[in-house]
Amino acid sequence: MGLWLPAGWFPFVEIGASIRNLCMDFPVVLFIMLFATFCKVNLSTPSAATGHLTTRSTIADVLAHPAFEGFAQYILPLEWGYDEAMPLSQVARLLPYHNYIDAGRCVGYINQMIDSVAAGRKIYYDLGRRDAGLFFFRGRPGAPFAVICPGGGFSYVGSIHEGFPHALALSRMGYNAFVIQYQTGSAQTACEDLAAGIEYIFRHVTELQVDTAGYSVWGSSAGARMAAYIGSYGTAAFGAAQLPRPRTVVMAYTGHSEYTRQDPPTYSVVGSNDGIANPNTMRRRTEALKAIGIPAEFHLCPNLRHGFGLGIGTSAEGWIDGAVRFWEENRK
């Protein structure tokens, strides 16, 4: 016997069927909603689980990240002004003097620093000077240290491209590596900050667990000028204590030509197509150092422009290994 329903009840039957179907499909709908939310969070904001950023994260995300409290403004070169909403995929816009910038790798460097803080390691030491400090990337306790000077024409500090990557590479090799954060505006002020940073390391050697014997100073572009000046004239010439000069200076793509008979052994690298730092200037300086008995090497990387950093994926890739070999040969 069929079920009798009064006229006009058919809409209610259809509504009831729809509700029943929705209830049956609810787990699927819920999964889709949760998955979409998960993807949105992981692509655009720091993950609640890891605190990591992505290329869709913004400058504001870096500045607000709890791992960088007190020094977040030094992670990226923001001296020329910035839009907080700019995604990190466009980080190259912040480094107009540099080339071969990979946003994904830059974010990876930031995330490694986040991981270090999460592991309980202090990564930034304030020098008590305006906009000056040291980022510390630990190697083996008691291993020698290097100080890396990023460039930027003394108008910005390009640590994200030619400071943090170098320091991370050296720390993986077991060396203790520092990246100097310095005040922009002039080579004099930058070198004073660098000298103060080296003095800080010497004064806190026990806390930092580094070997001060045979340390090296590295620099790229304007940062290479800083490294060379410290090598030529020492820390006392820039207002710090009289300390041993570095045993090795590593210079990447700079037009610096000045030198003295007291210069440390020097390793130089530049691209053949550099329109800012003339390769011939670096070559002539290297030859002059060798002529007065100072160990020096010059390396020309074909078809490269200015500011190649570690040179990953270019003809310069691996140059840092040669520089480390040179440092070790002259460290003792």
Q: What single-letter DSSP state applies at residue 131? A: T
Distance CA 90, CA 325 (A): 35
Bridge partners of 178?
136, 147
Other beta carbons within 10 angstroms of residue 6's beta carbon come to 6
Crossing angle of the two packed helices 103-118 and 164-172, in degrees rounded to 10: 60
Residue 191 C-beta-side C-alpha neighbours within 13 Å: 20
Q: For the chain, first and last CA: distance in Å?
A: 103
Amino acid of residue 110: I
Secondary structure (DSSP) of 233-276:
H-SGGGTS---PPPSEEEEES-------TTPPPEEEEEETT-SS
C-alpha gyration radius of the chain: 27
Handedness of CA 251, 238, 146, 297 (dihedral sign): positive
**Smallest Cα–Cα separation from 311: which of 129, 169, 192?**
169
306 DSSP assignment:
S
- The whole-angstrom separation of Cα 163 and Cα 156 is 12
Predicted confidence pLDDT, tens digits, the chain (332 residues):
343 333 443 333 333 444 344 344 545 444 444 444 444 444 444 443 359 999 999 999 999 999 999 999 999 999 999 999 999 999 999 999 999 999 999 999 999 999 999 999 999 999 999 999 999 999 999 999 999 999 999 999 999 999 999 999 999 999 999 999 999 999 999 999 999 999 999 999 999 999 999 999 999 999 999 999 999 999 999 999 999 999 999 999 999 999 999 999 999 999 999 999 999 999 999 999 999 999 999 999 999 999 999 999 999 999 999 999 999 999 98
Q: How far apart are CA 178 and CA 166, in angstroms?
A: 10
Query: Tokens at residue 188, please?
Result: 């004099």
Angle at 79 between CA 96 and CA 190, to 5 degrees: 95
Q: How far apart are CA 314 and CA 304, in angstroms?
A: 8
